[in-house]
Amino acid sequence: MSSVLRSAQMRKDTKTSPTLLALAALLLMVNLFVFLMAGLWLQTSREQYHKRAETNSQNVAAILSQNIGGEIARIDLALRDLAQQVEFELASGHPNQHRLQQIFDSKKEQFPEVLLFRATDAEGDTLLVSNAPVSGEVNVADRDYFAILKADPKAGLAASEPIFAKLQQQWCVAFVRRINGPDGSFAGVVLAPLPVKHFSDMFSMLRFGHDDGISLRQGDLSVVARFPETIGGVSAIGNKAVSPQLKIMTAAHPDRGTYEAAAGIDSIPRILSYQRIPAANWYVVVGLSTETQFSDWRNEVLKVGVLVVTFLGLSILGSIVLLMVNQGRRKAIQRMRLIESAVDHAGEAILLTAPQGLVIYANSAASILLRRSVETMTGSKVWDLLPLPDYQDWSAHWQRLSQGQALPTTAVIDLPDGGRQAMDVAAHHVSHEGQELAVIFVRDASERQRHEAEMQRALSQSRQLGVSLSRKNEEMAQFTEVLAHHLQEPIRLQHVYAQVLARQLPSPLPPLAEQSIRIVLDGAVRLKALMHDVQLYLSVGSGHGDAPRCSPAEALGIALRRLQDRITASGAIVDCDPVMPDLAMPAELLAKALAELLENAILYRHPDRLPQIRLTGQQDGEHLLLKLCDNGLGIAEEYHDRVFKVFERLVPETTPEGTGIGLALVKKIVDGVGGQVWIETAAQGAEGTCICLSLPLAPPDEG
């Protein structure tokens, strides 16, 4: 009952107290203000994220269009030169076939990325092919570009749609020029097919996020090249699926444009920019996933939401406490101070201005950014601080703000110390219960501009990594192709059913049947070993960050324990230098490499003597040169490079042991830590093999 009386008395006091009503209204205004400030800040932040994504996609599209256009121009220049050479020979009446072949071969050496240079006659039959004999079976008369160049002497450079080259087993695009006879009539064409993979490899080096996409499209918007290359396991080459926005944009703005849409080819929402390549009438389309681009912004939304909800909860709790203890005025003052502290310590520079243009509030971030004290800025005219548009006519600018027409802008601001700084400025109009003000957010634009400059440098560096990335991609593609054929299940079935067959057949088996079943079982065992080595090869990465210290002797000990049974069975003697410096790599990786080398030395031992293996180490600058030498069969010098390739074996395939991956795995481990591996050429009369590993030394211990 006392609780009910207290509640009734509380409601009575609240109802009859003008101070409590005023404080409640004030708290409501404060909460509304916080919600508005948070919403405006998030809106401004999202616009800036969107603008940054548009700028990034535009820059990448422009750079790619320049690079691809430059390559096409180089190829076109080569085709012009070849066409002129052929026309000159035709005009002489006695074409020098040998001289033309030399010119075509020389041109191919200048353009290694081009598959070949080919010249045809007026019927489309091949006259010349660079670095290859003429094949009369190749005829291009049915190609669209052939018909276009034949009909129009002024057609210029023609580019074909993607064509699958059966000989090279890959997609390519042909660039073609017309050959004129002495009388100006059509005498054939000269063409240069360029692999589509050349473009997709270029795109793969510029990928930003998981769902980003870069494509090269023809004038009809069909795909010439794309990264990722496949959609749902199907090649994207030739795909004509595009969003309606791209068709509308290219029709209205043929040269370049930026838009946001769900991509037609995979329905992923992106911010896209396209740029036309005039030389081939192609388009480079760069799409940045909105999911990726706005991930940081969503984190900001979550943080602001937590802060706003937390603040709202505190406000409600404060109101309850205020009513219970009847100290509304003091609580309202505390809450206002909390709001001022939160806004004042915000990372974003904020200015509040009255309709007359006077600054009524500036937070600490604004004081730091604009290099003026809060007291100096408060009460001053806002156009004395920020060169926003229409400050010559403040009333017109205020009207635009009140109508929501003011847009974020980037301006260069003169600072009191004489310096100048680029700032991103966004102004918003706020009106509530007849009260109006402008909220101005100011952000240092140097970070965004620095990010754009860093992206340009990153793009330049990525081109230098092209050769290395191409080699890695080729290795991974080779192993992926092997594993994609579901090797595990056929191997298991081969082994199981061979055993079932052996049990079902009458015993004893005929010699031929017994031999056949044994071969099948041995093959299954070998395939299992091959799969194990392949998976081991794929599991070894190329980067290890800050690698731990590794003792060569410790790694050798691990390898010896793993091969204990083989060493005992073969009678091998393994010795090593007692003291060697530590290496900058994991001991497990070095142990794997040494185990493979030891296993090879035991497997390919000389039949007339016991294996003797010795590991030595010698410091060479910042590297340690490890040599593992044996007295086995040895490796001929002409095979020193081949043995480090995957599946290269110097013994017959019928040999039950060895998969051709061991030395390739050693090379991958050594390359991954920045080292080198090679086979030392044996002195005349020397026996065995000596494999050298140059590995980086660990930094010296501090102290």
What pLDDT is recorded for position 193?
93
**Cβ neighbours of residue 108 closer than 8 Å, sequence gap 6 or more:** 114, 116, 117, 130, 131
Query: For the chain, what percent of residues have pLDDT higher than 70?
Result: 80
H helix or E strand, kind and range, residue 247: helix 244-252
Please tell me the least confidently modeled range out of 174-188, 308-322, 348-362, 569-583: 308-322
pLDDT bracket for residue 186 (50, 70, 90): very high
Half-sphere exposure at residue 376, Cβ-oriented, CA atoms within 13 angstroms: 11
Residue 80 has pLDDT above 90, yes or no: yes
Q: Does the pLDDT at position 362 exceed 80?
A: yes
Dihedral (CA of 35, 40, 41, 42) sign: positive
Higher pLDDT, 214 or 327: 214
**Arithmetic mean of pLDDT over the chain:** 79
673/43 Cα distance (integer angstroms): 47
Q: Which of 54-68, 113-127, 378-392 has the lowest mean pLDDT?
A: 378-392
Element (H, E) at 290: helix 290-293
Higher pLDDT, 571 or 701: 571
pLDDT class for 114, splitting at 50, 70, 90?
very high
* Predicted local distance difference test score (pLDDT) of residue 16: 47
Is the pLDDT reported for residue 142 higher than 50? Answer: yes
Is-cis flag, bond preceding 508, omega within 30?
yes
Find out whether the peptide bond into 228 is cis, omega within 30 degrees of 0. yes
Strand partners, 217: 223, 283
**pLDDT-derived band of residue 221, with 50, 70 and 90 as boundaries?**
confident
Tokens in use for 142?
Answer: 């049915």
Q: CA–CA separation, 176 vs 192, rounded Å?
A: 7
Concatenated DSSP letters of 470-537: HHHHHHHHHHHHHHTT--HHHHHHHHHHHHHHHHHS-SSPPHHHHHHHHHHHHHHHHHHHHHHHHHHH
- Tokens representing residue 160 in the block: 């074909």
**Which of the pair, 514 or 35, is modelled with greater confidence?**
35
CB 189 within 8 A of CB 140: yes
CA-only gyration radius of the chain, Å = 37
pLDDT at 332: 46
- The pLDDT value recorded for residue 443 is 79
Q: 333 or 666: which carries more pLDDT confidence?
A: 666
328 against 534, higher pLDDT: 534
Q: Outline where DSSP puts E strands in 110-218.
A: 118-120, 126-129, 158-159, 163-165, 170-180, 186-195, 213-217
pLDDT at 223 over 50: yes
> pLDDT tens digit string along 436-455?
887 888 877 777 777 777 88
Which pLDDT tens digit goes with each residue over 639-660?
Answer: 787 777 766 655 544 444 556 6
Confidence grade of residue 14 (pLDDT, cut at 50, 70, 90): very low
pLDDT at res. 177: 94
- What stretches of 522-611 adopt beta strand conformation (E)? 549-550, 573-576, 583-584
- Higher pLDDT pick, 416 / 114: 114
Among residues 448, 397, 390, the alpha carbon closest in space to that of 421 is found at: 448
pLDDT reported for residue 175: 94
The pLDDT of residue 73 is 92
Instruction: Taking residues 416-443, report their average pLDDT.
Output: 78
Highest mean pLDDT among 238-242, 243-247, 437-441: 243-247
Say how far apart CA 179 and CA 91 lie, in whole Å. 12
Span 159-182, mean pLDDT? 88
**Is the pLDDT assigned to residue 180 strictly greater than 70?**
yes
Distance from C-alpha of 161 to C-alpha of 176, rounded to nearest angstrom: 12
The pLDDT of residue 584? 86
State residue 117's pLDDT score: 93
Q: Is 383 exposed, middle or buried (0-12, 13-18, 19+ CB in 10 A)?
A: middle
**Both tokens of residue 620?**
């060479």
Tens of pLDDT, residue by residue over 620-642, are: 888 999 999 998 888 877 878 77
Distances (CA, A) of 459 to 22, 191, 198, 630: 60, 31, 17, 47
Q: To 5 degrees, how large is the angle CA 618–CA 622–CA 628? A: 30
pLDDT band at 77 (very low <50, low <70, confident <90, very high): very high
pLDDT of residue 427: 79
Alpha helices in 363-464 (DSSP H): 364-370, 374-377, 394-402, 446-464
**Interacting residues of 350 by C-beta distance below 8 A, sequence separation 6+:** 37, 343, 361, 362, 363, 365, 366, 439, 440, 441, 442
pLDDT at 563: 87
pLDDT exceeds 60 at position 235: yes
Say what the pLDDT of residue 652 is: 44
Least confident of 63-67, 372-376, 655-659: 655-659
pLDDT at 679 over 60: yes
Predicted confidence (pLDDT) at residue 535 exceeds the cutoff of 90? no
Q: Do residues 289 and 211 make contact, with C-beta atoms less than 8 angstroms apart?
A: yes
What pLDDT score was predicted for residue 5? 35
Average pLDDT estimate for 523-552: 63
- Cα–Cα distance, 199 to 102 (Å, whole number): 28
The rounded distance, in Å, linking the Cα atoms of 331 and 630 is: 86
pTM over 0.75: no
How many angstroms separate the CA atoms of 116 and 131, rounded? Answer: 8
Q: Over 60: is that where the pLDDT of 513 sits?
A: yes
Cβ-in-10-Å burial (0-12, 13-18, 19+) of 344 comes to: middle
pLDDT (0 to 100) of residue 480: 54
User: pLDDT band at residue 138, thresholds of 50, 70 and 90?
Assistant: confident
598 vs 165: which has the higher pLDDT: 598
User: Could you tell me the pLDDT band of residue 8, with boundaries at 50, 70 and 90?
Assistant: very low
- From the list 562, 687, 673, 572, the residue with the least C-alpha distance to 626 is 673
Residue 19 has pLDDT above 70, yes or no: no
pLDDT band at 515 (very low <50, low <70, confident <90, very high): confident
Is it the case that residue 543 has pLDDT exceeding 60? no
Q: What angle (nearest 5°) sits at the alpha carbon of residue 303, between those of residues 298 and 305?
A: 90
Q: pLDDT tens digits for 450-499? A: 777 788 887 777 777 766 766 776 676 566 556 545 566 676 667 677 77
